[in-house]
Amino acid sequence: MQPSLEQIAQSAEPAQNKQGCLYSLYKYAIDTFAMVSFSTPIGMANEILVAGMSVNDSIKVRIMSAIGCFVTARPYGKFRNFVFRKCGVDDTTGFVKKTTVDTLASAIFQTPLYTGILIASGADTRQTIVGATSMMLVAGLTGRPYGAYRDFCMKRCGIKPEYEDKIE
């Protein structure tokens, strides 16, 4: 019998369940929660204050973005872990390197996705260019805070971020 999500969350040793389908689903849910709850207020501020979109248009973008988060949150988490490993980041890495790598991972992954969401939501060419350009700048400001927030969410749910294992 498979353990429930609550049992996985309360497990003193969540690593014992690492290969299970429920464990993967649990990490997917945490990644999705972290991305939606972090990106909604930042995205709305960018769309309304920087790109000049109306509140109604921003809400449309946020709904599409939330749907996008359901599809991309876990792949982004895996991508981020991959980039961290390739760049030699682990739990002993300093703030500057973690910030740099988080910023790059965020900009590389999120900017093309955000551009597509703007286009699909009906943003005009100017709004798309301004929004996508500002997203690259926003990634510079939010890459590490989001990464730290994602790690916090994982740890609060009993899961150690994968990149934290020592690199041999």
| pTM reported for the whole predicted model | 0.73
Structural domain includes residue 8: no
Number of domains within the chain? 1
- Maximum distance among all Cα pairs of the chain, rounded to whole angstroms: 55
What sign does the dihedral 159-164-166-168 (CA atoms) show? positive
Distance CA 55, CA 78 (A): 32
Structural domain includes residue 11: no
Distance CA 48, CA 59 (A): 10
Structural domain includes residue 6: no
Q: Residue 14's pLDDT band (boundaries 50, 70, 90)?
A: very low
Q: Residue 16's pLDDT band (boundaries 50, 70, 90)?
A: very low
* pLDDT value of residue 54: 94
Structural domain includes residue 1: no
* pLDDT value of residue 17: 53
Structural domain includes residue 3: no
Q: Residue 28's pLDDT band (boundaries 50, 70, 90)?
A: very high
Distance CA 125, CA 157 (A): 41
Angle between helices 55-86 and 125-156 (to 10 degrees): 60
Structural domain includes residue 35: yes
Pick the more confident residue, 8 or 160: 160
Distance CA 79, CA 119 (A): 24
Its domain, for residue 73, covers: 20-164
Structural domain includes residue 125: yes
Structural domain includes residue 88: yes
Q: Residue 19's pLDDT band (boundaries 50, 70, 90)?
A: low
